[in-house]
Amino acid sequence: MSYKLRDTYYKKAKQQGYRSRAAYKLLELQERFRIFKTGQLIVDLGAAPGGWIQVAAKLVGPSGKVLGVDLQPIEAFHQRNIIVIQGDITATETEQRIMEYLGRPADSVISDLAPKLTGIRDTDEAHSLELNRTAMEVANRLLRAGGSFLIKSFVSEELRIFSAELEKQFGSVQRTRPDASRKGSSEIYFFAKDYQPRLQG
Ligand SMILES: C[S@@+](CC[C@H](N)C(=O)[O-])C[C@H]1O[C@@H](n2cnc3c(N)ncnc32)[C@H](O)[C@@H]1O
């Protein structure tokens, strides 16, 4: 049997109607960091197929809004508090489209972005870090003061530098690895809160 079919979270996601097993990571992260509150405006970077969108949309409720963006098309949702956009987050025009839909700064930017893996460790780490820096720049332009930023990263030698960059712009930065992360995966998540635009630089 393939890893996928044996995987508890994959099976659970199928049974509970989540589009991806990643939903369980976000549920754990919410439990730990209390990221979402009713009525909030959330931007989800690298959102396909949409497991995180489902979790976030439920937690912010009908008075909130979740805008998901991905290179891949995301199948439309019937909920009115969800907007999906297909686009490359590294392109200025994608960011402009996000801003038009938002209408006001976001309360939280969440990023589960992951580059296409080559299998060459150094190359994959470099791509991931580059993508994360872009996500951080995008978050800087989209967030309201006091807002929060959740981002997936992979263990690498550069991680401390990335963490220090986050600390320059946010009042607090915590990191964790959810139980739902696949065994053997080197992913970790940073949760940065209390965005302070004036401290940028
Ligand atoms: C791990 S998946 C996200 C899973 C998602 N959080 C969920 O719950 O279903 C990572 C996503 O990042 C997207 N991605 C990678 N580079 C991107 C880019 N430059 N712009 C937009 N999306 C990107 C990939 O297409 C992929 O769908």
**How do the domains of the chain map onto residue ranges?**
20-199
Report pLDDT for 2.
Answer: 62
Apex 122 CA angle, 47 and 157, nearest 5: 90
Q: Report whether 73 contacts 44 (CB < 8 A).
A: no
Count each helix (H run) and each strand (E run) in the chain, helices first: 7, 7
> Taking each helix axis from N to C terminus, what angle separates 51-60 and 22-33, rounded to the nearest 10 degrees?
40
Burial degree of 77 (CB within 10 A; 0-12, 13-18, 19+): middle
Whether residue 192 has its Cβ less than 6 Å from ligand 1: no
Atom of ligand 1 nearest to the CA of 48: 27
Length of the chain: 201
* Torsion of Cα atoms, 98 then 103 then 104 then 106, to 10°: -30
Whether residue 88 has its Cβ less than 6 Å from ligand 1: yes
Report pLDDT for 102.
Answer: 94
Task: Determine the Cα–Cα distance for residues 24 and 1; give it in Å rounded to an integer.
Answer: 22
Task: Determine the Cα–Cα distance for residues 71 and 86; give it in Å rounded to an integer.
Answer: 6
Task: Determine the Cα–Cα distance for residues 55 and 81; give it in Å rounded to an integer.
Answer: 12
Whether residue 89 has its Cβ less than 6 Å from ligand 1: yes
SS3 9: helix
CATH assignment of 20-199?
3.40.50.150
Residue with CA closest to ligand 1 atom 11: 46
Listed in order, strand segments (DSSP E) in the chain are: 41-45, 65-70, 82-86, 106-111, 143-154, 170-176, 187-195
Residue with CA closest to ligand 1 atom 27: 48
Atom of ligand 1 nearest to the CA of 26: 8
Q: Which of 10, 54, 70, 133 to mutate to test the pocket of ligand 1 (most atoms within 8 A of CB)?
A: 70
- The pTM score is 0.94
> What's the CA-to-centroid distance between 166 and ligand 1, angstroms?
21
Atom of ligand 1 nearest to the CA of 53: 8
Whether residue 185 has its Cβ less than 6 Å from ligand 1: no
Residue 201 reports pLDDT greater than 70: no
Neighbours of 113 (CB within 10 A): 23
Confidence category of residue 134, pLDDT binned at 50, 70, 90: very high
* Highest-scoring range by mean pLDDT, 75-89, 125-139, 169-183: 75-89
Report pLDDT for 10.
Answer: 87
Report pLDDT for 120.
Answer: 87
